[in-house]
Amino acid sequence: MSETYRSVDSRGEARFEIRGSEFIGHVAPAHTVEEGEAFVDAIREEYADATHNVPAYRIRAEPLREWASDDGEPTNSAGKPALNILQQENVEDDAGIVERRPHEQFTITAAYDDSGTVRGILESSDVEFEAKYEADVEFAVYVPVEEASALRDRIRSATSDRISFESL
């Protein structure tokens, strides 16, 4: 799964009224089924007095996990239409929509002598990282999957393989 995909960028809420009934929609990014279900549970708790809470999600997992509930409404009258919107928009990880690429996380441990070289390579690459300076320097790296191998090779070469990598 190294291709880009559409995902929810942040939490969002929309409200509208139809024939005297108020409808409130909530959306949030969720990267695991557990996160999706926790969000559904939190909304149910926050709106415990609602007549119906109709959840739907699409979670990027192996395989893609999709789920919806009508919550007492007639079968396929509420949950399925909500899920259909996510499917039609090809949105995963349920508010703006963003393009995301799968990433890999790993740490690089380097001696102080090599830390400037490693930091320079990371700063010039399309990666996110944090550095922790202790006895050695540890870089926590978040890199697009398709660029990870080349980045590791570049760092190994530049430091004459004096660093270590650990996958997270």
Q: Which residues contact 70 (CB under 8 A, 6 or more apart)?
A: 52, 54, 76, 77, 78, 79, 80
Query: Which tokens is 124 given?
Result: 């010039």
Q: Where in the chain is the domain with CATH 3.30.70.240?
A: 102-167
Strands annotated E in 19-120 = 21-27, 56-59, 65-68, 91-92, 97-100, 103-110
Under CATH, domain 5-99 is a member of which superfamily? Impact, N-terminal domain (3.30.230.30)
- Report pLDDT digits (tens) over 92-113: 557 444 455 678 889 999 999 9
The model's pLDDT over 112-144, given as tens digits with 9 standing for 90+, comes to 999 999 999 999 987 889 999 999 999 999 888
Is the pLDDT confidence value at 5 over 80? no
Q: Give the angle subtended at the CA of 42 by the CAs of 26 and 102, to the nearest 5°.
A: 65
Q: Specify the amino acid at residue 76.
A: N
Contact 139, 122 (CB under 8 A): yes
Q: If pLDDT is split at 50, 70 and 90, which confidence band does 76 have? A: confident
What sign does the dihedral 148-149-151-156 (CA atoms) show?
positive
Residue 63 burial (CB < 10 Å; 0-12/13-18/19+)? Answer: exposed
For residue 21, pLDDT over 60 is answered with yes
For a pLDDT cut of 90, what percent of the chain falls above it?
A: 30
- Locate CATH 3.30.230.30 in the chain: 5-99
Gap between the Cα atoms of 127 and 55, Å rounded: 34
Q: What is the mean pLDDT of residues 82-94?
A: 66
Q: Rg of the Cα trace of the chain?
A: 22
Q: Does domain 102-167 have CATH number 3.20.20.70?
A: no
pLDDT at res. 25: 74
Is-contact 167 108, C-beta < 8 A?
Answer: no
Residue 109's pLDDT is 96
